[in-house]
């Protein structure tokens, strides 16, 4: 591993944020340069289809603090952040969104807490502005359910906007899982953790890169990565349904052989077979999620492919 030469690295995943880049760069520079002159801004271009890459190249040409890592295609937000962490050389590393929903002006406050001796300082949302009620409601419930079914304390209402110490970055690099759920992994790693409250802003320009399908995949990665409870539910449900089936079989046999009643029970057959079919498919789906996870890890493909970069380290 190369020596870590920076005080602060800022990691910013970028997916179609061309219009935000200039403001983002200016506000980040204002906040971070007030803390130290020894910093770097690492933009990870996650296969943007707009002008993000040429604009990043322009920023990098004009400002020696700017580095970019350009992926060969869209690999997803969590992987973009992971790549940024691989390249970061800072003693303290800030992870922040590129759409200015996370205000860069909070970084000095995160840094102050870090200097008090916390290895993880996460920004917790007091309010969320400009997001649909659906997103707010699903996010709220997701964090609360996750908290219930996992054994680790993942803070609620907290995204990836946070400052982490070099120690934590190095621990993250030692976690080889392919399905990344960084906020869970960081909670799992431990160390001293503190929260700073903030108000999440509206996205400056553009639209969300997290449509429902991506949100669902992300939620499943969080659950399957940090909880075995769904598997236990499947086992319990299977057990209860087997017990119930046993009673029904007894009843069927008695009515046939003892009471000599042959029931013309179309409705009961339809209802029970639909019910059982549903439960079985759902259970298979849950098991499939875990099998898929195993499969990804067995395939052991690289997490991302870098097409070009001006970063000085090779990332690994």
Per CB under 5 A, 101 contacts Mg ion: yes
- Is 130 or 190 the residue whose CB approaches Mg ion more closely? 130
Per CB under 6 A, 13 contacts ligand UDP: yes
Q: Which does 230 bind (CB under 5 to 8 A by kind): ligand UDP, Mg ion, none?
A: none
For residues 224 and 293, give the distance between their C-alpha atoms in angstroms, rounded to a whole number. 8
For residue 135, which of 28, 223, 218, 48 has the smallest C-alpha distance?
218
- Is 40 or 99 the residue whose CB approaches Mg ion more closely? 99
With CB under 6 A, what is the number of residues at the site for ligand UDP? 17
Sketch the per residue contact string, 36 through 55, with ligand UDP: x for CB under 6 A, - otherwise. Answer: ----------x---------
* Residues between 204 and 223 with contacts to ligand UDP, criterion CB under 6 A: 208-210
Question: What is the nearest approach in angstroms of ligand UDP to the Cβ of residue 92?
Answer: 20
Residues 171 and 137: beta-carbon distance below 8 Å: no
Q: Find the DSSP H helices in 36-177.
A: 52-62, 77-87, 107-115, 133-149, 166-173
Per CB under 6 A, 101 contacts ligand UDP: yes
Per CB under 5 A, 179 contacts Mg ion: no
For residues 57 and 66, give the distance between their C-alpha atoms in angstroms, rounded to a whole number. 9
The count of other CB atoms within 10 Å of the CB of residue 81 is 22
Q: Which does 222 bind (CB under 5 to 8 A by kind): Mg ion, ligand UDP, none?
A: none
Place of tokens 């395939």: 299
Place of tokens 């996650």: 46
Question: What is the nearest approach in angstroms of Mg ion to the Cβ of residue 306?
Answer: 24
Q: Which does 209 bind (CB under 5 to 8 A by kind): Mg ion, ligand UDP, none?
A: ligand UDP
For residue 59, which of 12, 107, 117 has the smallest C-alpha distance?
12
Per CB under 5 A, 102 contacts Mg ion: no
SS3 75: coil
Which tokens go with 178?
Answer: 């392919």
Q: Is 74 exposed, middle or buried (0-12, 13-18, 19+ CB in 10 A)?
A: middle
Contact region for ligand UDP (CB under 6 A) — 95-103, 112-120, 229-237, 301-309? 95-103
Question: What is the nearest approach in angstroms of ligand UDP to the Cβ of residue 98?
Answer: 3
For residues 248 and 254, give the distance between their C-alpha atoms in angstroms, rounded to a whole number. 10
Question: What is the nearest approach in angstroms of ligand UDP to the Cβ of residue 274?
Answer: 37
Q: Which does 164 bind (CB under 5 to 8 A by kind): Mg ion, ligand UDP, none?
A: none
């Amino acid at each position: 591993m190369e020596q870590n030469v920076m005080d602060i690295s800022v990691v910013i995943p970028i997916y179609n944020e061309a219009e935000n880049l200039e403001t983002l760069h200016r506000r980040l520079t204002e906040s971070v340069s007030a803390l130290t002159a020894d910093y770097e801004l690492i933009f990870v271009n996650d296969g943007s289809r707009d002008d993000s890459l040429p604009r990043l190249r322009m920023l990098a040409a004009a400002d020696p603090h700017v580095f970019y890592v350009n992926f060969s295609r869209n690999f997803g937000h969590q992987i973009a952040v992971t790549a940024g962490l691989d390249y970061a050389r800072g003693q303290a590393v800030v992870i922040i969104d590129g759409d200015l929903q996370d205000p860069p002006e909070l970084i000095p406050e995160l840094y102050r807490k870090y200097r008090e001796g916390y290895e993880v300082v996460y920004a917790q949302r007091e309010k969320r502005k400009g997001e649909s009620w659906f997103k707010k409601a699903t996010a709220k419930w997701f964090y609360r359910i996750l908290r219930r079914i996992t054994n680790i304390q993942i803070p609620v209402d907290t995204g990836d906007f946070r400052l982490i110490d070099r120690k934590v970055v190095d621990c993250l690099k030692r976690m080889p899982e392919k399905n990344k759920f960084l906020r869970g992994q960081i909670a799992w790693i431990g160390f001293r953790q503190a929260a700073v409250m903030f108000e999440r802003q509206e996205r400056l320009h553009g639209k969300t890169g997290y449509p429902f399908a991506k949100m669902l995949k992300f939620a499943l990665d969080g659950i399957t990565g940090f909880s075995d409870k769904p598997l236990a539910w499947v086992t319990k449900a299977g057990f209860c349904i087997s017990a119930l089936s046993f009673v029904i079989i007894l009843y069927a046999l008695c009515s046939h052989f003892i009471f000599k009643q042959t029931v013309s029970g179309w409705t009961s057959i339809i209802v029970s077979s639909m019910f059982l079919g549903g439960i079985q498919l759902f259970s298979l789906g849950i098991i499939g999620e875990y099998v898929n996870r195993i499969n990804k890890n067995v395939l052991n493909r690289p997490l991302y492919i870098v097409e070009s970069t001006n970063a000085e380290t090779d990332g690994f």
